[in-house]
Chains A and B, each alone.
Chain A
């Protein structure tokens, strides 16, 4: 038998002897004990201190009425407990994350189901209602008889989320631990989806989520997030943690982020980062964001032009390479100057003995770091590029621009 939180709220409660005890004003889940069981009911008695009934003290529950299997004297006085999740206060009307639908929704009502065992009824949360039926119930409950409300809502389109897919957002880290809220399911989402979810939340909630993610995921999400939010989050974060996250980011993304921060904060963060990574980011920060240098990434794969396909493959296997960057390989001549690029697709199909210089793309393209972003767009458009090499005055490659850098720049403008 299904019952809704809205119907349960305000229920008149009688003890085993049939005496009126109070009305249900709130009920709780204790996630540390059981993730979906209603563990305690708060019974208010007007001006007296409220009582609390435990899950094994309840004999029956229906819309508007609850009976206990003990007498009133067996009940404890209510004391607030941080590790209890309050359905009315923490869940109703609040935003939650639907991890399966990958979006933020607002809770209209909570659906419960009865679990009977000799003389005792336990309630379990099955799903949260985020659709019109829940809204109608909230509006009409107590004004229109329950039966009529039920009849009406059965005709409306349902929208609810199973309790397993509900991810609560709790900004307070202490409370999050007590309530056993983890963001493991969020870490499984694509960073771009998670970033979109975070944009719908409040500032404190965003901060809470980022703090609880592992550094790698946090870095990926920050790279996807709207830059205005990224700066707000990083500014509020503990510098040490922020530096750890920045370390996980691609240097160009880290530089983009730092460029938006106040000078003092970005210096502080760079000091926290390990020397080599910090230097790379510092160099990128020198470039104007609207030039090729400002768009490029310094992490790229380069090999000598005389090496063969098999040699290159063997070397790449032995390295711990970032697969996101692995799309095109930059070639260097014996003077360490830029000599061309080889896309992976050509490498894949080439014979084992083929020399890299024979697989080069034509024509030979590159841009200096101070080239305007318009020039970059034009080259990508004209030659249908996926990647473009940026060179310095000595004709040495110093970074590459990939097509996703171009797309995000175009979208931003």
Chain B
């Protein structure tokens, strides 16, 4: 028998590898490792700058010029502190926020958090589609054309795309926020004064000023974002060993979000405030008013930013909401399931988009009231969610060595209390004052 072959030993020649090839490979590997983690933090923070947010920032700049810029630094800290806790929980436990609430607090609390979330988010979705309508009006496109197209676009994007593709598109949308940077440059602001006001607090106690300050905080930190952020890290299967990268993602996201807010306020302060157009009530009006003051491009870019922000948030909100509700109540969820396997998920998702876009199209839609409702709803929802987060993140049986340190807890509770206080004030004034800061 010819078995020599079977016993034959092969010397395996290793592929020749030069140092340069190795270095390139190492670099590529590090980049992939980074991209495997980064995303949720950046996306979540930027979605905070949605249609409602941009309107408030616009008003802040138009009415008070540079005077409110100082609030951005404490807001960055608040945003980072709260988001970081969720990121940490997602990374350590591998579970979503609604999962954890359900397991640790039971069915009823979860149900009420979810049902409130549904209506608040629905109101927010309406606000986003209203933002699309307003932005497209500046480009002379009727809302009866723009809003249905936007709704279909959003629906298809999420249902036809994989998580990775969708995330890449979302990251690209984050980059498009830079249009506000260019708007701000075209507005030729006084950068020195802007920088001074950012660092030196400028407290004033007139009620309009305080109300505007409250509005800034209230629109920037929205409760639903915590669910989305945590789910994002869980979905990306980020583990504890990659936690420093996740934290960097959240930090970078918080800062970049506030940098965009800075440019929006600077842009409107340098133009609308300086030239006396201080009675602006929303972002679309501001874009219109910018054209004669800072040129066609400044206005167009401003409107484009609004469109991008609205579409971006309109894509994320319905998906995140449907996901969170199904997860908490124990129904199948996720775009990797077929309609038959996860009917409740798909119905929720579709209802949010169809109703959200549909309300904007109603001839006499009470948009103003819906926007107030979304503000009030956020205000009621936020304390509940933040307190749940703080209770969960301090549980040693869940978090092990990753529980909050005492110092972090102090910062977190102070942040939470201040944030909750301000949002409740905003909710209160939205209901009882006629001159609400909301658009």
* A interface residues with partner B (beta carbon < 8 Å): 92-95, 105-106, 108, 130, 135, 138-139, 199, 201-204, 206, 226, 228-229, 231-232, 235, 283, 286-288, 291, 293, 302-307, 311, 315, 332-334, 336, 369-370, 392-394, 396-398
Interface residues in B103-117 by Cβ distance below 8 A to A read 103, 106-108, 110-111
Chain B residues lying within 8 Å of A336, measured Cβ to Cβ, are 4-5, 8, 10
**With contact pairs A138-B108, A203-B94 given, residues A286 and B14 touching in the complex (Cβ less than 8 Å):** yes
A106-B330, A229-B237, A370-B15 are contacts. A334–B10 as well, Cβ < 8 Å?
no
| 20 pairs from A and B in contact (CB 8 Å cutoff) | A92-B106, A95-B103, A130-B330, A138-B111, A139-B107, A199-B237, A226-B237, A228-B36, A228-B237, A228-B239, A235-B239, A235-B241, A304-B2, A306-B2, A307-B2, A332-B8, A334-B5, A369-B15, A396-B10, A398-B10
Main secondary structure of the interface of B (DSSP, over half): loop
Q: Find chain B residues with CB under 8 A from A392 CB.
A: 10-13
With A and B bound together, what is the CA distance between A250 and B6 in angstroms?
20
B198 lies within 8 A of chain A by Cβ? no
Among candidates B2, B8, B17, B330, residue contacting A108 with C-beta atoms closer than 8 Å: B330
Tell me the smallest distance from the CB of B312 to a CB of chain A, in Å.
26
Known contacts A106-B330, A203-B93; decide if A334 and B2 are in contact (CB<8 Å): yes
**Contact in complex: A202, B1 (CB < 8 Å):** no
Q: A302 to B106, Cβ gap below 8 A? A: no
A334 to B7, CA, bound (A): 12
Pair A93/B106 contact, Cβ less than 8 Å: yes
B197 lies within 8 A of chain A by Cβ: no
Task: For the A-B complex with A229-B239, A304-B5 known, give 12 more contacts whose Cβ atoms are closer than 8 Å.
Answer: A92-B107, A93-B110, A108-B107, A139-B111, A201-B94, A203-B92, A204-B93, A232-B237, A306-B2, A307-B1, A369-B15, A396-B10
B110: A residues at CB distance < 8 A: 93
Task: State whether B107 touches A303 (Cβ < 8 A).
Answer: no
Does A311 contact B1, Cβ atoms closer than 8 Å? Answer: yes
Complex contacts, B95 vs chain A, CB 8 Å? 202
Q: Once the chains are docked, how many angstroms separate the CA of A332 from the CA of B10? A: 12
B91 to chain A, nearest CB (A): 9
**Chain A residue contacts of B425, Cβ below 8 A:** none
B205 part of interface (Cβ distance < 8 Å): no
Provide the bound-state CA to CA distance between A23 and B107, in Å: 20
For the complex, is B296 an interface residue (Cβ under 8 Å from A)?
no
Which residues of chain B are near A105, meaning CB under 8 Å?
330
> Cβ of B432 < 8 Å from any Cβ of A?
no
Which A residues are in CB contact (< 8 Å) with B16? 370
Kindly report which residue of chain B lies nearest to residue A259, judged by CB atoms. Answer: B29
Given known contacts A202-B93, A203-B92, A303 and B15 CB-to-CB distance under 8 angstroms:
no
Q: Is B25 an interface residue when CB atoms closer than 8 A count as contact?
A: yes
Does B3 count as interface, using CB distance less than 8 angstroms? yes
Chain B residues contacting A394 (CB-CB under 8 Å) are: 10-11, 13
| Pairs of residues from A and B, 3 with the lowest C-beta to C-beta distance, nearest first | A106-B330, A332-B5, A336-B8
Known contacts A286-B14, A286-B15; decide if A135 and B107 are in contact (CB<8 Å): yes
- Measured between C-beta atoms, what is the minimum distance from A349 to chain B in Å? 23
* B12 close to A283 (CB less than 8 A): yes
By a CB distance below 8 angstroms, the chain B residues around A203 are: 92-94, 239-240
Cβ-defined contact, A232 with B108, below 8 A: no
What's the Cα separation between A92 and B330 when bound, in Å?
12
Query: A291 to chain B: which residues have CB within 8 Å?
Result: 15
Among B3, B4, B6, the most chain A Cβ lie within 10 Å of the Cβ of B6
Which residues of chain A have C-beta atoms less than 8 A from B3's C-beta? 304, 307
CB distance from A315 to the nearest CB of B (A): 8
Question: How many angstroms between the C-alpha atoms of A300 and B222 in the bound complex?
Answer: 57
- B 288-322 contacts with A by CB, 8 A: none
- How many angstroms between the C-alpha atoms of A332 and B4 in the bound complex? 9
Q: Given A228-B237, A336-B8, A139 and B108 touching (CB < 8 A)? A: yes
In the assembled complex, the Cα of A94 lies from the Cα of B104 at a distance in Å of 9
> CB distance A334 to B12 under 8 Å?
no
Interface residue? B329 (CB, 8 A): yes
- Distance (whole angstroms) from the CB of B230 to the closest CB of chain A: 13
Residues of chain B lying within 8 A (CB to CB) of residue A235: 239, 241
Q: Is B102 an interface residue (CB 8 A)?
A: yes
Nearest chain A residue, comparing its CB with the CB of B2 = A304
Q: How far is the CA of A369 from the CA of B17 in the complex (A)?
A: 12
How far, in angstroms, from A305 to B4 measured CA to CA in the complex?
11
Query: Given the complex, which residues of B lie within 8 Å of A201, measured CB to CB?
Result: 94
CA–CA, A349 and B239, complex, Å: 51
- Nearest residue (CB) in B for A108 is B330
Give the distance in Å from the alpha carbon of A231 to the alpha carbon of B241 in the complex. 10
A138 lies within 8 A of B6 (CB) = no
Within 8 A of A (CB), among B1-60: 1-6, 8, 10-17, 25, 36
Chain A residue with Cβ nearest B112: A139
Given contacts A203-B94, A231-B239, contact A398 B107 (CB under 8 A): no
What residues of A have a CB within 8 angstroms of the CB of B17 in the complex? 286
Asked if A398 contacts B12 (CB within 8 A), the reply is: yes
